[in-house]
Amino acid sequence: MNKYLFEINDLSTDNDDLMLHETLFHNANGYLGVRSNYEEGYPEQYNSIRGMYINGFYDFAEMKQAENLYGFVEEKQTMVNIVDTQGIKLMVDGEEFSLFQGTVLKSSRILDMKKGITKRTILWRSPNHREVEIVITRMASFTMLPLFTIDYQVTAKNFSGEVKFTSTHIGNVQNYFNPNDPRVAAESFQHILVENADVQDGISIISSKTSKSNLSVWSAVKNELSKEGNVQQQVHSLSVDCEITTSIDQDETISLTKYTVLCDSIRYTNGSEKALRFMHEATAKTLAGMYKEQEEFLADYWENASVDVDGDDELSMAIYYNLYQLLQSVGKDRFSNVAAKGLSGEGYEGHYFWDTEMYIQPFFLLTQPDIVKNLIAYRYNILDSAREHAKIMGHTKGALFPWRTIMGKECSGYYPSGSAQYHINGDIAYSVINYYLVTKDLSFIADKGAEILFETARLWLDVGHFHDGKFLIHNVTGPDEYTCVVNNNYYTNTLAQHNLKWAVKFYELLESKNLTSAIEKIRLERSEIESFKQAAEQMYLPYNEELDINPQDDSFLSKKVWDFENTPEDKYPLLLHYHPLHLYRHQVLKQADTVLAHFILEDAQSLSTIENSFAYYEKITTHDSSLSTCIYSIVASKLKQYDKAYEYFGESAKLDLFNTHKNTKDGIHTANMGGNYMAIVYGFGGLRIKEDGLHFAPALPEKWTGYNFKVRFEDSVILVRIDGDNCTFSLQKGTEKAIRVYGKTYELKDSLVIPLEEKSHVL
C-alpha cells in the first residue's frame, strides 16, 4: 500500500457521499481552500457546499440576542465563500458531460499526498455512445500560496469531433447555511458583493468587497488550451465566461489548464495588480515545473513530519491523511490561524478556537516550529482586542482572548459554553511556554510571547480572588461543554496556576538578560509579580480525598449521574437532543476535561489520583466532541491501559476518513487530527516536554511491529524508533542532548538503544 495515496472508486451519486467527498478531497495550502466540487456541477435537486475560502478573510454577520444584556455579542465574523472558479463544463459533439446522464464506465478520485494534488479520473459513454476519458488534476500551491490550478484532460476513445469547454468565473456566490445544525450558519446572507468584472490580456479579474467588514478580494483566472482553438470571453456584471472550442481526433488527448489567483486586502495593497503579477509569474512556468516544486516542498515536509506505523496499513493511511490535512489547514502568516474545519468547509464558520494551541501546535512545534511562531504571532496581533474584550467582561486589567474569533472580536453568542471558557487564556499561555521550552527562542518571548503571558496572568488576578488562604476562580466553564458556569473548574485552575508561575519566571529571566521592553511597555510592576506568585502558590485545585480524584469543579460530584443505560443511541450527540440546562444538572461529559489537565500538567497530581480520576470520568464521558478520544488514549497509555489506549486511538485516527461523527461533509476535524498525532507521540511514545528537557516512556502496541517519529528540540532533530524489544533514539542533526527515558537520564550523542520496559497488550 502506498501510504501517500488515498483513492476511492467514485461511482456513487448519493448526495451524502458527494458532499462527504467534497471535504475529503479538498485542496488547500493554509492560505486558500477549495472544496472538491464537481467542475460540471450537480443536478438542481442536489445539495452542495460549493466553496472557495481565504484563511482569515471574513465578513460581519448579525447575531440576534433574544435579550440583549450588557456585553452580549451582537455581531460575529464569518468565513466568506469568496468566488467560484471551479466551473468547467464539457461538450462532446454537442453532448454535455455529466455523471448523471449517459454511462459512467469508471470513476475514481485520488489524493496524492506526496505530489500535493488531487485527481478525478472518469471513463464516460455519452447517450450517443461517444466515449471519453477525463482526467482532472487540481493543486493548491504550497510554493505560491495565492495559486490554485485545474488541469482538465480529455481523451477521445472512439470518435473524432468537436470539443467545447465553458470555463466560468463567478463572483456572485453565497455561504452555505443549515438552520437545523448549530455548527454551521443558520441563515443565508450575501456576504460578498462584486464591484467589477473585467478581462485584461486574456485574464479575467473580478474584484469584490464584503458587505460589512469592508474587506476586498481579487480573483484572477486564465485558461490555456494545449492546442489552438476558438476562444471567446464574455464579461457579465457578476461573472466572466470563457468558451473554448476545438477539434479532437480519436485517441488524441487535449488539456485545458485553468489558473486561479486569489489576493485579499488583509495581506495585499493594490490587490488587482498583485493578482496579475502572481498570474504572470505562474503562467511563465510550466505546469510540470510547478508540480515538481510542489513535490519538493512536500518531500521536505514529510522528512520532518512522517509518523510511520508498521503492521496496520489502514491506520497508517489515516495517519498520513491527518498529517497532510494539518499542513493544508494551518495559516502560514501572522494574519491567520487554524479554523476548526481548516479550509475544507464552513463548519463553525471558519472560527479559530483553543483547538490550535492544545491540539495542533504540539505537532508543528515538534516538526516545524516556525509555523508555531506565526500562530503565536497571530494571537499577539489580536492582543489589543483581547484587552478590550477583558474590559467588556468587567475586568480592569489584563487581556481575555475570545473563545471563538477570526479577527480578534468574540463570536460566541452563547456565553455559558463560549465566553465563559476563560481557560482559553491558559491554553494560549501554555502554548507560548511550550514554544520556549522546545526552541529556547528568548528573543521571540521578549518581543511577543512575554506580553501575552503577562497580560493573561493579570486577567487571572482580576477574575479570581483570595479566600481563606486559597485563590479561587468562580463562574467559568472548562473544556467540557456539558458542564457550564461553575466554580473552580480543575482544568482552568491548573492552567491559570501554570500561566502565573511562568509569568514570574519570564519576568525574572528577561530582567536578568536586560530584555525588558515588554515589561516597560505594559508598565508591569514588581508588586504584580509578587501577586502572581502568591496566586499560583495558593491556587485551589479541587480534590476529593475519599475518591482520590480531582472533581471537575466544586459542585460536580453533588450532581446526579446521567442515565446512560436508558439513553438511546439515536440521542447522541446529546447537545442536539437535550436542553443545555438539563445537561448541566447531571454528571455527564462531552469531552475530556480533568483528564486533559492530567495529560498536559501531569506533575500537578500523584499517579494514583490521575488513575482514579481517569476511571471516574471515563464512565461518564460521551466523547460527543471530536477532541476527546485522543486525550483518553494518551492518558490510558500513561496508565499502561494499552487496550483502552489503542481503542481510543483508532476512533480518533479514522474519524474523518470513515465519517464516524456523520458531519465531515461540513469540513474536517483539524483538532482531532492533531490529537491523533499526539496519541502516538505523547501516548504510545510517552513524550513529555518539561523544563528539564524531553522525557520518553515508549510502548509498542501489540498490533504493530513498530513505529517511528521525529522531534525537533532546540538545534537538534531526534529520530525515535520503537520495534521488537527496543526503542532507538538517533541524533540526526544538531548537538548532543540529554534525554530522559523511563525516568533515567541519557546523553544522546549519536544513537542510543534502550530495551522497552514492556510491550502493551491490546485485547
HEC secondary structure over 606-672 = CHHHHHHHHHHHHCCECCCCCCCHHHHHHHHHHCCCHHHHHHHHHHHHCCCCCCCCCCHHHCCCHHH
Partners of 28 in beta bridges: 33
User: At 209, phi and psi to the nearest 5?
Assistant: -135, 145
Closest CA to 686 of 634, 724, 610, 627: 634
Sequence-distant (≥ 6) Cβ neighbours of residue 253 within 8 angstroms: 153, 154, 155
User: Whole-angstrom Cα distance, residue 262 to residue 31?
Assistant: 9
Is 481 one of the annotated active-site residues of the chain? yes
Residue with cell 494551541: 357
Buried b (16+ CB within 10 A) or exposed e, 2-40: ebbebebebeeeeeeebbbbbbbbbbbbbbbbbbbbbbb
Contact call for residues 147 and 124 (beta carbons, < 8 A): no
Question: Which residue is it, cell 537520564?
Answer: 745
CA-CA distance, 291 to 306, in Å (whole number)?
21
Specify the amino acid at residue 199: V
338 within 8 A of 330, measured Cβ to Cβ: yes
Cα 213 to Cα 62, 194, 341, 407, distances in angstroms: 12, 14, 22, 10
On whether the CB atoms of residues 687 and 693 are closer than 8 A, the answer is no
3-state secondary structure 110-161: EEECCCCEEEEEEEEECCCCCEEEEEEEEEECCCCCCEEEEEEEEEECCCCE
- C-alpha–C-alpha distance, residues 403 and 407, integer Å: 12
Alpha carbon distance 116, 114 (integer Å): 6
**What sections of 217-346 are H helices per DSSP?**
271-283, 287-305, 313-329
Type of residue numbered 677? Y
Selecting among 22, 349, 451, 481, the annotated active-site residue is 481
What SS3 state is found at 717?
Answer: strand
Dig out the grid coordinates for 610 from the structure: 490521575
Cell match 437532543: residue? 577
Cell of 12: 456513487
Q: Which residues are catalytic?
A: 481
